[in-house]
Amino acid sequence: MSPPAESVFVCATPRSGSTLFCEALSATGVAGRPAEYFEALRGTDLPRQPQEYFDELTPELEALLPRFDQQPAPELARSRTYGEYLAWARREGTTPNGVFSAKLMWGYLGEFADRLREVGYAGDSDLDVLAGAFPRPRYIRVVRLGKVEQAVSLWTAIQTQSWRDGETFTDADREPVFHRAAIDHLVRRLTEQEDRWGTLFAAQGIAPLTIVYEELVEHWEVTMRRALRYIGAADADGIELPAPPLRRQSNGRSQSWVERFAGAAALSRSTW
């Protein structure tokens, strides 16, 4: 296959609905295949582990966080250099029409850009580095407005290691536990990461397309077509769209945790 002629980066924070959006883009066959090719952290070559979502680990929190024996992704492990891995990811993420796409979480953008610098791509801003390594980049942000819902979703996935409906990456059959401080930390962290994406784009004078998770779910076709038009897909309004390729994971427990967290937050405000 010839090298990609254009690139799309789906810029997100964890549990924002990014996989739903990315897999739907993939299914169109004209928008690249956006997966998390670049999520492995440099120190470990692994995706962020449960403990690495927190700055301080109390014994109580530590006891809730699973530890498991994860190996680096096979393609990364067998690549002799990061440049070789990059070549694999470029091939894997590109559809026959020459569009490459990938999902990027704020939590590893900096590390990914540093890896690119190490293999020779220059640039002060991480986005300059990306623009050196990938042709004609365009950016789509996926943003979830309900930050408490998002943090509850992340706290649940960190504990259970079930990142999509019906799938778990460990044998641990864990019943997740409510932990107000952990959810509070994740709300703050997700909000900060969202702000940082915004600041980075503004500093570079880039206006990405923003896909709001809640709108995507409620207005599936309109929102997906907006993205396809932004990408510049030929016949964006005529392309056959898949039904949502993933099922929602949150359940009654998630909802009750959101209410419990919000109630506790309101109570602590009223006692100021």
Ligand X SMILES: OC[C@H]1O[C@H](O[C@H]2O[C@H](CO)[C@@H](O)[C@H](O)[C@H]2O)[C@H](O)[C@@H](O)[C@@H]1O
Hey, which residues are catalytic here?
36
**Does the protein bind ligand X through residue 169 (CB under 6 A)?**
yes
- How far apart, in whole angstroms, are the C-alpha atoms of residue 195 and residue 142? 13
Interface mask toward ligand PPS for 134-153; x: CB under 6 A: ---------------x---x
Task: Supply the angle between the helices 106-118 and 126-133 in degrees, to the nearest 10.
Answer: 60
Give yes or no for residue 185 binding ligand PPS (CB under 6 A).
no
User: What does R_g of the chain's alpha carbons equal in angstroms?
Assistant: 19
Residue 212 binds to ligand PPS (criterion: CB under 6 A): no
Q: Which two tokens stand for residue 249?
A: 């994971």
Candidates 1-9, 65-73, 184-192, 241-249; binding stretch for ligand PPS (CB under 6 A): 241-249
36 is a contact residue toward ligand X (CB under 6 A): yes
Would you say 110 and 127 are in contact if contact means Cβ atoms under 8 Å apart? no
| From 32-40, 117-125, 140-148, 218-226, span contacting ligand X (CB under 6 A) | 32-40
Half-sphere exposure of 141 (CA within 13 A, CB side): 21
With contacts defined by CB under 6 A, name the span among 174-182, 226-234, 239-247, 263-271 that binds ligand PPS. 239-247
Residue 53 makes contact with ligand X by CB under 6 A: no
Give the residue among 1, 266, 17 at the shortest CA–CA distance from 141.
17
- The closest alpha carbon to 6, from 28, 24, 32, belongs to 32
Cα distances (Å, whole numbers) of residue 259 to 18, 149, 178: 24, 10, 12
Among residues 162 and 236, whose Cβ is nearest to ligand X?
162
> Pick from 117, 138, 147, 164: which binds ligand X (CB under 6 A)?
164
Identify which range of 66-74, 195-203, 243-251, 255-263 contacts ligand PPS by CB under 6 A.
243-251
What is the chain's length?
A: 272
Q: Which residue is nearest to ligand X (CB)?
A: 47
Angle subtended by helix axes 180-204 and 126-133, to nearest 10: 70
- The nearest distance, CB 201 to ligand PPS, in angstroms, is 19
Q: Does 14 bind ligand PPS (CB under 6 A)?
A: yes
Closest distance to ligand PPS from the beta carbon of 113 (Å): 20
Q: Does 34 participate in binding ligand X (rule CB under 6 A)?
A: no
- Least Å from the CB of residue 264 to ligand PPS: 19
Interacting partner of 149 out of ligand PPS, ligand X, none (Cβ under 5 to 8 A depending on kind): ligand PPS
Residue 138 touches ligand X, criterion: CB under 6 A: no
Per-residue exposure over 61-100, b if at least 16 CB sit within 10 Å of its own CB, e if not: beebbbeeeeeebeebeebeebeebbeebbeebbbeebbb
Name residues whose C-beta falls within 8 Å of residue 181's C-beta, 6 or more positions apart in sequence: 58, 61
Residue pair 85/76 in contact by the 8 Å Cβ criterion: yes
Binding positions for ligand X, rule: CB under 6 A: 14, 19, 35-36, 39, 47-48, 163-164, 169
Residues that bind ligand PPS (CB under 6 A): 12, 14-20, 149, 153, 163, 217, 244, 246-250, 254
